[in-house]
A and B are shown apart, each in its own frame.
Chain A
Amino acid sequence: MSAFNHITHYAALGENKLVGSRCSACGKTFYPARPMCPACYGSALEAVEFSGKGKLAAYSVIYIAPTAMIQAGFDRKNPYCAAVVELEEGPRICAQLVGVDVKQPESIRIGQPVQATFLQRGEGESARTFLAFQP
């Protein structure tokens, strides 16, 4: 069994890399990486680094934040954008979208090209690197 899971996912993000997996049998790629191919049940998967380039598929500017985002400094007065991004290699991923005008949500355009960036959040044991995108 390949050792792909959320630990390896976040470890790769810690090195500012998007590491997914590719099924050796059918060629399907996954991001986040999967340990088994759910399409053909192949269990030989290899690591594949994604470019971090993609386009915006969907988004929302969130005013009522969950606890983790409140701790990161967001609230009604300081909303943030969460997005679904389609990576150029095909898979989509959920991530925060930064560098956009959250006060003008209509100005954010679905289909616009975006590029991965990496955010440090949390302290001590819970500190880790989160994936984000920017125009």
Chain B
Amino acid sequence: MTIRKLSRGVALVGAGMSKFGAFPGQSSRDLFVEAFQEMLASVEKGFDPKEIEALFIGNFSSDLFENQGHTAPIMADWVGLTPRPATRIEDACASGGAALRQGVLAIASGLYDIVLVGGIEKMTDLPIERVTDTLATAADALYEVPAGFTFPGLYAAMATAYMAEYGAAPDVFLKVGYKNHENGALNPKAQFGQRIADIMEARKKSAAKKGLPIPEWADEMAFLNDERANPTIAWPLRLYDCSPVSDGAAAVLLVSEDLARRFTDTPLYVIGSGQASDGAIHDRPTLTSLPSAKKAAEMAYQMAGVKPADIDVVEVHDCFTIAEIIATEDLGFFEPGQGWRAVAEGKTARGGERPINTSGGLKSKGHPVGASGVGQVIEIWKQLRGEAGERQLPGNPRLGLTHNVGGTGQTCVVHIFERR
């Protein structure tokens, strides 16, 4: 296979995000302004925003979530960047990662030197059934959805295939969510800034306040296995196996490599970019791996000239807990069938040998779908620059990777970043 390289280098010199969560009364443009302002403030040496030449905005379905199509020019207008070209990129939950890749390619092509990449989604205005229906439009409407499949259902089906093939039990999925809540509690931007233990305590207090019997759980796993506290959504996945419905936005500034140090002394270089597509879940040779993720990862590793073992910081697309386990195998961090054992042994915890999703992941940080792929980059930006606060990984991390999935793997985008 030919190893593809960018025809010129691209650097990340600014990054910002809104808080992720449920924000009644705020539209996606309000959240994007919040992300844009934080991005501006992150550029240490400052710059004139009017130098930005083009925008690529990841967004899955503002049409159905907000009754608003054609969102990219609105974002450009709200941050004072018309008449520059503004294009919306849609690849379901991988829209943000795909927008990032388009921004990278636009600079590498030589056409632009300074590009703004954004991700937006405003999901919480709709009732839950319509959110479920809207997300289901990322699946095959003719041949997957009529079977009764929802998104949790499709990932749950992968979970049953994984359990049958490798002997994992649903308990280990819950441990992924537990771990991501531990991380998200240290992230001020996270939708759920609470550990599972904090949530248990809050439940007890709430029951006491209402004069109801106070629930008792032996430990966090007992709570997570309690059907009343953690109801089944799509067996074997429970509520705490699923990322939440979220509002949020994120924005990053990309420039050509030669300009990077005009903006900051600590740029991150985009050294690997891969993207792949795939058919519906039933048309794949495997149900325990995402072929598109393996392909996108291979492209990114080859472009970057690095191996999985070289990567220090990893943000993967944990839209469901099983997705994180499969991602860690597809990215080559663990052998097929070993990802669940790594979780059980604590290897993917913040203090483990292969920390995964130090931001809290989509599970705890939130999953405003079109923003998630750009939101992942914010964590890499902070970790590689030593700005991740209480959740900062030790050892001066140098290489970071993002893995952003659309649908059940009809799209996957992988990027690798380096601090030099």
Question: A interface vs B, CB < 8 Å?
Answer: 6, 9, 32, 57-70, 74, 76, 79-80, 82-84, 91-96, 105, 110-111, 130-131
| Measured CA separation A95–B164 after assembly (Å) | 19
Q: Is B386 an interface residue (CB 8 A)?
A: no
Q: A94-B143, A94-B282, A110-B160 are in contact. Are A69 and B148 (CB under 8 A)?
A: yes
B200 to chain A, nearest CB (A): 22
Nearest CB in chain B to that of A6: its residue: B142
Q: Which of A32, A60, A67, A110 contacts B153, CB < 8 Å?
A: A60
Chain B residue numbers with a CB within 8 Å of A66 are: 129, 132-133, 136, 145, 148, 150
Q: When the two chains form their complex, are residues A105 and B281 in contact, meaning their CB atoms are under 8 A apart?
A: no
Counting contact residues on chain B (CB < 8 A from A), the size range is 35 or more
Q: When the two chains form their complex, are residues A60 and B160 in contact, meaning their CB atoms are under 8 A apart?
A: yes
Q: Which of A32, A61, A80, A94 contacts B281, CB < 8 Å?
A: A94
With A60-B235, A66-B148 given, can you name 17 additional A-B contacts, CB distance below 8 Å? Answer: A6-B142, A32-B143, A58-B158, A59-B157, A60-B157, A62-B152, A62-B235, A66-B145, A66-B150, A67-B130, A67-B133, A68-B146, A84-B157, A94-B146, A94-B280, A110-B161, A131-B147
In chain B between 137 and 196, which residues have their CB closer than 8 angstroms to a CB of chain A?
142-150, 152-154, 156-161, 164
Q: Is B287 an interface residue (CB 8 A)?
A: yes
Q: When the two chains form their complex, are residues A60 and B156 in contact, meaning their CB atoms are under 8 A apart?
A: yes
Q: Is B264 an interface residue (CB 8 A)?
A: no
Q: Which of B132, B144, B154 contacts A64, CB < 8 Å?
A: B132
Question: B interface vs A, CB < 8 Å?
Answer: 128-130, 132-133, 136, 142-150, 152-154, 156-161, 164, 231-237, 280-283, 287
Chain A residue numbers with a CB within 8 Å of B150 are: 62, 64-66
Chain B residue numbers with a CB within 8 Å of A110 are: 160-161, 164
Chain B residue numbers with a CB within 8 Å of A69 are: 148
Q: A84-B281, A110-B164, A111-B164 are in contact. Are A63 and B132 (CB under 8 A)?
A: no
Chain B residue numbers with a CB within 8 Å of A79 are: 232, 235
Chain A residue numbers with a CB within 8 Å of B128 are: 64
A31 to chain B, nearest CB (A): 9
A80 to chain B, nearest CB (A): 6
Chain B residue numbers with a CB within 8 Å of A111 are: 164
